[in-house]
Chain A
Amino acid sequence: MTDTTQLDAPPRSQWWDVWDQFKSHKGALLGAIFFFMIILGVLFGPWIWGIDPTFIDIRSRNQGPSLAHPMGTDQLGRDTFARMMAGGRVSLAVGLTAMALALGLGTLVGVLAGYYKKIDGLLMRTTDLFLALPLLPLLLVIIMLFRDKLNAAFGPEGGIFVLMVAAIGATSWMQTARIVRGDVLAIKEREFVLAARSIGTPNRRMITRHILPNVLSPIMVSATLGIANAIITESALSFLGLGFPPDFPTWGRLLFDSVDYLQQYPERVMWPGLAISLTVLSVNYMGDGLRDALDPKIRGR
């Protein structure tokens, strides 16, 4: 199944090429560094910054940024900096996992539907079905049916995490699937695919070697849009009481809660808004760089 035997150098060298190309893409490198810093910040920040994100110090509520509270405090006197870091953990975890799930599912369905004519109809009608389902009642039903079971299996927080990721993933893969399928339909008829087929390339390698690399760019765009989408959807779900407990901060929730205070304390909206935007931007640039790096035509230049 592998073609490494025909190559003189070990396959690792190809990935070094990709990495070299990725490094030369300034935006991508910056994006990656920034993204890494955000991850490090939310993972280890709470250890260094000792304030509990749910601790209420009612006397110091509604404060502006200061040394004690670099991002100020909220209407109950909770430290916004601590909440941003704790919220980032949840938002990033949900955003990345749900995006990955949606992307994986969408790409799988899209490639299969586009490549195999026989199952195209069935898969696309299923996609239509999912697109048509009313999101809110669907989520209410999912949560009603599965929350207690998942809580029993994964513990309260783990259960809700699995539920949120599954719910967001299961309701946002359809666009990727449609887009990937559209591209696959076109690529399938290109000359290089015909050429590959004429030398007897099996379907599986056909998909992984020839089709997938050529639909990478819409997938990357979907990935960037998917993260933003998942973070915002998570906040909407939590707001409706379908997600994490109300005292559990997430970026989307912090943003939502502070909109009412937009006029009095504009900085309070800025922090979560900035965090979400910057994360999405850095993922976008990483996606750009990765796509260029994986494209042999560009890599050669």
Chain B
Amino acid sequence: MFTFTIRRLILTVPTLLFISFVIFMIVKLSPSDPTGNLPLTIPSEVREQIREALGVNKPLMVQYGLWLKQFFWLEPRIYLEQAFGWDMGTAGETRLISYQTRSPVMDLIMQRMPQTLMVVGTAYLVGILIALPIGIISAYKQYSVFDQIGTLVSMIGFSVPPFFSGVLVIVLFSVMIPTDSLFWLPSIYDTTHEVVDWESFKYQFRQMIMPVMVLALQITAQISRFTRASMLDNLNQDYVRTARAKGLKEQSVVLVHVLRNSMIPVVTVIALGIPSIFGGAIITEQVFKVNGLGQLLIIAIQGGDVPTVQTLTFIFAILIVLFNLIADVLYGILDPRIRYD
């Protein structure tokens, strides 16, 4: 397993390079333009000058090479300098600059990270914590009332998109409930809010409730369905009968033996989901104005901001490759019969 991991890690480098190239080509080919959002009162010659100043018209390969150099060579050195106070000779070099804000892309990402992790990360955690018990109980008591309700809620939860459920909870909790009520929740997330004491923590908690719940509903629906299905498959297996026959406690049969063997699809789904935490949640972030990485990405796409889209997507790609590797390693731990070499 160790050699497998090392081999896969080495293989990751060319994979990621290839992915970065494909992403670059797609982003460049797509017909959004950095001057597209400007008012029509700005004439086309001026737009052309702006494009020229941004370097949009340079040859594609030059632009890609520059991005590679800035992302892999310059930016890491700048962060090392900032962290340790070294001088690595980065002064005077042009950093990876976003077209829209004319500021370093990596700084934008760092600035967005806290609120994204806070909201989307919490939602994921809450989602998993709710989904696993629901999935297990629904499978164990298949077709019970609990299972039926669980199915109903998770299916409706999955088929109702966040652009609707988000607005629905805002209307319920921000508009219909008077502002001075205990149950009133803010409809607009305050990204400048800092938690310093109990009061500010309470506010932070209140402003997170709605976005976290809307997101968690989707995540719960998905994970609980896969958990249930996989548990059902395993509950009928011979080894379960054997374990029961051996006189093992029912609890340990279900929660240790069956659950462990049912985890493979669940681990896959969670491993696919974790990178998306960093990708943010585009629609939910828009609805509640969380302005995290998802909002950064969508604004950058709409504004033809190639460096930002490219960098964000590539970081996302790194996480996908990494977490899929982790999932593969976990398969081997969950089921020692799985071998890769």
Contact = CB atoms under 8 A, between A and B. Distances in A.
Question: Touch between A and B in complex, CB under 8 Å?
Answer: yes
B168 to A, nearest CB: 7
B161 to A, nearest CB: 5
B40 to A, nearest CB: 18
A230 to B, nearest CB: 11
B313 A298 contact: no
A137 B301 contact: yes
* Band of interface residues on B: 35 or more
Contacts of A140: 30-32
B107 interface: no
B188 to A, nearest CB: 17
Nearest to A252: B161
Contact of B175 (A183, A220, A263): A263
A184 B115 CA distance: 38
A132 B264 contact: no
- Secondary structure type dominating chain A contacts: helix
A284 B321 CA distance: 31
B126 interface: no
Contact of A262 (B168, B298, B331, B337): B168
Nearest to A27: B143
A137 B331 contact: no
Contact of A217 (B230, B320, B338): B230
Interface in A252-301: 252, 255-256, 259, 262-263, 269, 273, 276-277, 279-281, 284-285, 291, 295, 297-298
A137 B26 contact: yes
A269 B164 contact: yes
B29 to A, nearest CB: 5
Most chain A CB within 10 A, of B19, B309, B327, is at: B19
B159 A276 contact: yes
Interface of B: 11, 15, 18-19, 22-23, 26-27, 29-32, 143, 151-152, 155-156, 158-161, 163-164, 167-168, 171, 175, 221-222, 225-226, 229-230, 232-233, 236, 261, 264-265, 267-269, 271-272, 275, 297-298, 301, 309, 313-314, 316-317, 320-321, 324, 327, 331, 335, 337-340
